[in-house]
């Protein structure tokens, strides 16, 4: 936050009165326009603000390249020639700035896999299935329009936590809840034959669900580092993230084994199966917000367990997870990490708002700081102000939405170029659960909602909550993976 070098004692009283009036008017305006109860100083402290640019009407709404009759996806291209760079052990750096179109489409593909964990999650606290997936795993990608990506889901992953995290895990208020402790936390999927030929390998994907309430991070992230249990005793991670990843209980139906044990069992099974067939296998782990943190923990465990497996992490709006030693260990094990970060999003700034990797430049004075949080891997930096479609106000929740991220990735060319005019992804998706789009687009905010809040009229004319299809009812016995 910029501070004036002049002394307030030297100001004339009238100047103070005028300044006070301006400040009061500004506060009233902020209070009237704000939808989120966050102090204005928080924006400056975390650098969430961005300069309001004059509305550029020369672009047109919508631009010619994004009309109603324009396909929302680009034709698939064979990208196996870039297998080492995109899915193999080689570095992403040469493909990031400018962003290679093939890598852009892969980033969006994995981002949509992460978005599926929100779109298919039952958030309704009045539902007996709150906290579960709305669909059985055989129907998940098809119901969400993602079957075109050429993957099939082989296993669902459930998590619980012994750490008190009130907004990270959802709870049902129904007396006959499917589970009182567990949440559906993601899934494992694997590429089919056609997709495997296109990308150059058999790709195993793990998609982790995150959080949608960024303002809760300041209450829920306690910033306590604890040892990961690595061979290196100095490797430490945030204890809340580790709790979600490793918690289990014999009292539960879905977490007699932890999320860690569930996902690793399936990864090892799939890797063994396809390697026995002589295939090149890769592991790509993705997640948004809390899901990005779980992705890094998952990558560390997979790299420690399965030798010579190409492992990539593509996270969106992920927080810091561990200390310097944790980052060094991931690099030592050749885990590739790409962090997609929106400049205005506050979640990637925690934990460690003040004490983070920025202190590294003082190590010649302080020595190595083992308990300081640090980010891992490469960063693809995005800016809300780069898009002509987005509003230029403060919207902390909107900045963190995954759909905002995917919109900005789709339009990103390079750090010194304007928003891509031939971007294809449907901009209406940005307003699915937010109000980030400019009013000129006439797309209603938060338009994604169930008709009649999910109620239907039965044969007797009564409004009732419909029963789920049998396949969509969660069952610990149905979660057994089948090839």
Q: Which residues are catalytic?
A: 289, 345, 400
Give Cα separations from 470 to 65, 303, 442, 475 (angstroms). 43, 37, 39, 10
Q: How far apart, in whole angstroms, are the C-alpha atoms of residue 200 and residue 184?
A: 31
Give the helix/strand (H/E) hosting 217. Answer: helix 217-220
Order of strands, edge to edge, in the sheet holding 281-288?
A: 151-159, 183-191, 202-208, 281-288, 311-316, 336-342, 378-382
Q: How many Cα atoms are found within 13 Å in the side-chain-facing hemisphere of 423?
A: 23
Buried/exposed 395-422: b ≥16 CB within 10 Å, e otherwise: bbbbbbbbbbbbbbbbbbbeeeeebbee
Task: Give SS3 for 282.
Answer: strand
Q: How far apart, in whole angstroms, are the C-alpha atoms of residue 282 and residue 80?
A: 13
Q: Contact, 191 vs 202, CB < 8 A?
A: yes
Position of tokens 């810091």? 320
Q: How far apart, in whole angstroms, are the C-alpha atoms of residue 70 and residue 425?
A: 10
Q: Which two tokens stand for residue 168?
A: 């990270």
Q: How far apart, in whole angstroms, are the C-alpha atoms of residue 101 and residue 79?
A: 10
Q: How far apart, in whole angstroms, are the C-alpha atoms of residue 253 and residue 115?
A: 26
Residues in the chain, how many?
483
Burial of 253 (0-12, 13-18, 19+ CB in 10 A): middle
Closest CA relative to residue 378, chosen from 322, 333, 321, 339: 339
Q: How far apart, in whole angstroms, are the C-alpha atoms of residue 271 and residue 318?
A: 27
Q: How far apart, in whole angstroms, are the C-alpha atoms of residue 475 and residue 452?
A: 27
Q: Contact, 430 vs 365, CB < 8 A?
A: no
Task: Give SS3 for 187.
Answer: strand
Give the helix/strand (H/E) hosting 335. Answer: none
DSSP 8-state symbol, 21: H
Q: Contact, 146 vs 187, CB < 8 A?
A: no
């Amino acid at each position: 936050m910029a501070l004036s070098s002049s002394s307030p004692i030297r100001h004339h009283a009238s100047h103070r009165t005028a300044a006070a009036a301006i400040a009061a008017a500004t506060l009233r305006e902020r209070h009237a326009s704000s939808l989120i109860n966050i102090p204005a100083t928080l924006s400056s402290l975390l650098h969430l603000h961005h300069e309001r640019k004059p509305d550029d009407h020369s672009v047109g709404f919508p631009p010619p390249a994004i009309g109603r009759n324009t396909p929302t996806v680009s034709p698939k291209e064979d990208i196996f020639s870039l297998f080492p760079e995109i899915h193999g052990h080689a570095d992403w750096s040469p493909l990031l700035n400018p962003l290679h179109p093939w890598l852009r489409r892969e980033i969006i593909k994995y981002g949509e896999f992460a978005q599926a964990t929100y779109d298919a999650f039952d958030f309704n606290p009045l539902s007996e299935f709150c906290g579960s997936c709305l669909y059985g795993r055989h129907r998940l990608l098809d119901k969400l329009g993602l079957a075109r990506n050429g993957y099939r889901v082989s296993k669902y992953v459930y998590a619980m936590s012994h750490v008190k995290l009130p907004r990270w895990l959802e709870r049902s208020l129904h007396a006959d809840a499917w589970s009182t402790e567990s949440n559906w936390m993601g899934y494992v999927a694997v590429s089919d034959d056609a997709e495997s030929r296109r990308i150059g390998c058999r790709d195993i994907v793990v998609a982790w669900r995150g959080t949608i309430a960024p303002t809760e991070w300041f209450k829920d992230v306690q910033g306590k580092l604890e040892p990961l249990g690595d061979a290196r005793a100095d490797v430490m991670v945030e204890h809340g993230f580790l709790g979600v990843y490793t918690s289990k209980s014999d009292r539960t139906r879905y977490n007699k084994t932890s999320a860690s044990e569930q996902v690793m069992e399936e990864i090892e099974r799939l890797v063994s199966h396809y390697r026995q067939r002589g295939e090149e296998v890769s592991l790509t782990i993705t997640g948004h917000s809390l899901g990005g943190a779980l992705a890094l923990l998952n990558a560390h465990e997979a790299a420690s367990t399965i030798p010579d497996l190409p492992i990539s992490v593509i996270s969106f709006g992920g927080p810091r997870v561990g200390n310097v030693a944790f980052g060094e260990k991931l690099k030592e094990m050749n885990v590739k990490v790409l962090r997609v970060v929106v400049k205005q999003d506050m979640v990637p700034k925690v934990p460690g708002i003040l004490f983070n990797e920025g202190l590294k430049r003082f190590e010649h004075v302080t020595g190595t700081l083992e308990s300081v949080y640090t980010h891992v891997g490469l960063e693809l930096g995005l800016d809300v102000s780069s898009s002509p479609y987005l509003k230029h106000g403060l919207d902390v929740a909107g900045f963190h939405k995954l759909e905002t991220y995917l919109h900005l990735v789709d339009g990103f060319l390079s750090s010194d170029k304007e928003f891509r005019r031939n971007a294809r992804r449907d901009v209406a998706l940005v307003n699915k659960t937010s109000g980030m789009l400019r009013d000129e687009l006439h797309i209603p905010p938060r338009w994604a909602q169930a008709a009649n809040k999910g109620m239907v009229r039965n044969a007797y004319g009564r409004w009732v909550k419909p029963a789920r299809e049998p396949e969509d009812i969660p069952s610990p016995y149905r979660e057994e993976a089948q090839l």
